[in-house]
Amino acid sequence: MELQSIQIALFFKEVLFDRPDLKFRNLTEKLSDVFDKMPTIFPIPNDAPHEIPFMILSSQNNLTTCNISRSRIDLITMDKMLIKNENKLNEFIDEVCKARDIIQFGFVATHFKSTDKASEDIKQRFLKNNEEIKDLSIRYNKPTKINKEIYNYHFSISDIKQQNINTNSIEVGLMIQRDINNISLNIKNEIFVSSKLKSILKNSQDILYSSEINA
């Protein structure tokens, strides 16, 4: 399995109505070498769904984007150098936590394996069924202890068709997503300080970056 991308999703305690370019100015300055493209800002009305991005940061090589909405911020990168750069990912978390109080998080890793027998691979590993099956996907939550606390570990595996960003060709294969998050667990709306989020991310890497097909 090849690690294709990672996503860091951080959810705000309070809805953001300030100008995002001002609120996240330090973020854009601190990571200007990552987000080296002109930011895109959309005139989203205040009564629009809070999940709609109203500011997008991106890289010149189109491998990294950061979507900022009124309720969350998502860093998504396919840049292998950035994925391995723990300091840069930590800087991102630090600057977001300075700008907003964070009460939920999600760390997601997406893996891909090119194969024309994806459904067969899934069936052999997860199902007791000899019938021919196509378009197969499996998803489940496996609560996992990280830093002595229990978090969700959502594991999903499916056969997909996707466009290769290098060749623009369509390839078929097996996709695995590993997602460590605290969704529905933070009942008291505890605010996560950056040091705790960075520690969870660091100690989740053996799970997130695993090349094994099973969970």
Each residue's pLDDT expressed in tens, for the chain with a length of 215 residues? 889 999 999 999 999 988 888 899 999 999 999 999 999 999 888 888 999 999 999 999 999 999 999 999 999 999 999 999 999 999 999 999 999 999 999 999 999 887 777 667 767 777 766 666 666 788 889 999 999 999 999 999 887 766 666 666 677 788 899 999 998 887 778 899 999 999 999 999 999 999 887 76
Delimit the domains of the chain by residue range. Answer: 2-208
CA distances from residue 119 to 137, 157, 170 in whole angstroms, order as listed: 8, 10, 17
Q: What share of the chain is helix, strand, coil (3-state, %, to 5)?
A: 25, 35, 40
Q: Are strands 40-41 and 55-58 parallel, antiparallel or unpaired?
A: antiparallel
- Contacting residues for 80 by C-beta, under 8 A, at least 6 apart: 3
27 in Cβ contact with 95 (< 8 Å): yes
> Would you state the pLDDT for residue 119?
67
Q: What's the predicted TM-score (pTM) here?
A: 0.89
